[in-house]
Structure 1
Amino acid sequence: MIRTATVHDVPEIHAMIRELAAYEKAATQARATEEQLREALFGAHPAASVLISEDDADGRIAGFALWFPRFSTWTGTRGMYLEDLFVRPHTRGAGHGKALLAALAAICRENGFERFEWVVLDWNEPAIGFYRSLGAEFLDDWTVCRLSGAPLADLAAHAPAVARRTP
């Protein structure tokens, strides 16, 4: 069963984020707290949404997908960015990942989103094979760029004043 997450799911979402980070060999980088997730997902201005997959056999949470809208200047339309997709190892192969992605694709269609995008680590062959089986297009000529920590702070220190205009 696929359902939208509730605030009561935050501890499980937090646990799965940590499980995903460990799988991706980046456990120390997963620093988000349950409180941060609660605010980001269910606060006054939610930053993202989560779908939960429950195991039909026991009703326990098998996986999750965390996503947020994005905008394409080229198409002039909104799209969806999938930040995290995780299915617990003991439930893999039962269709949870495909069901979560299908539910997200349906949300895209319902909202007129023309693009559904995510990234995958180049060494994660099982995920790459799974995404290929769904018809995902791999954009090999694009490279993800990221600023964080000291480089982000250094660049921000050179920012000019930004005028705020009211309509």
Structure 2
Amino acid sequence: MIRTATPDDIPVIHAMVRELAEYEKAPDEAKASRQQLHEALFGERPAAFAHLAEEAGEPVGFALWFLNFSTWRGVHGIYLEDLYVRPGARGGGHGKALLTELARICVERGYERLEWSVLNWNRPSIEFYEALGARPQDEWTAYRLTDGALRELGSGD
């Protein structure tokens, strides 16, 4: 079963974000607090959205996403920030069900893209995504500013 997250789900979403960071070999990079997640998902002006996959009433996975915008297509799309299914529930269709729900939202709202990133070494996920019809965008390279470089550029110095 897939459902929209509620404020009561923040502890389990936070725990799964930490589990995902462990899986991606970057546990020290997952610094978001429960309060930050609550504000992003349920604050005065929510900037992100989440869905949970449940099995026998227990959360086993989540998708956290936000809207992006294509100037070329002139419409919004969904950027999937995180998709995670707990190891014991993998292979049960939960990941596909979460992606299906996001695709349904795209179609329903007239969004023309559902995008995400995957680590190059994560072959199981790459194979899963490609089996669904997703294709890598090999002609693009992702860039990111964080920490000191972001502060330096943002300070105008």
TM class by shorter-chain length? over 0.9
- Runs of 4+ aligned residues of structure 1 deviating over 2 Å after TM superposition are none
- The number of residue pairs the alignment matches comes to 157
Give TM-score, length-normalised by structure 2: 0.98
Displacement of 1:137 after TM fit?
Answer: 1.4
Identity over aligned pairs, percent: 58
For the aligned residues, what is the CA RMSD?
A: 0.8
Aligned to 1:3: 3
Displacement of 1:135 after TM fit?
Answer: 0.6
1:14-163 matches, cutoff 5 A: 14-55=14-55, 58-158=56-156
Structure 1 CA distance for aligned equivalents of residues 38 and 73 of structure 2: 33
Displacement of 1:73 after TM fit?
Answer: 0.6
Structure 1 CA distance for aligned equivalents of residues 148 and 35 of structure 2: 25
Displacement of 1:59 after TM fit?
Answer: 1.4
User: Is there any run of 5+ residues in structure 1 with no aligned partner, and where?
Assistant: 160-167
Give TM-score, length-normalised by structure 1: 0.92
SS of residue paired to 2:142: coil
SS of residue paired to 2:46: coil
SS of residue paired to 1:25: coil
Displacement of 1:141 after TM fit?
Answer: 1.1
Structure 2 CA distance for aligned equivalents of residues 40 and 91 of structure 1: 27
| Residue identity matched to 1:92 | R
Structure whose alpha-carbon radius of gyration is higher: 1
Structure 1 CA distance for aligned equivalents of residues 60 and 156 of structure 2: 45
User: Is there any run of 5+ residues in structure 2 with no aligned partner, and where?
Assistant: none
Displacement of 1:156 after TM fit?
Answer: 1.1
- List per-residue Cα deviations over 1:11-31 (Å, max 9, x = no partner): 000000000000000000000
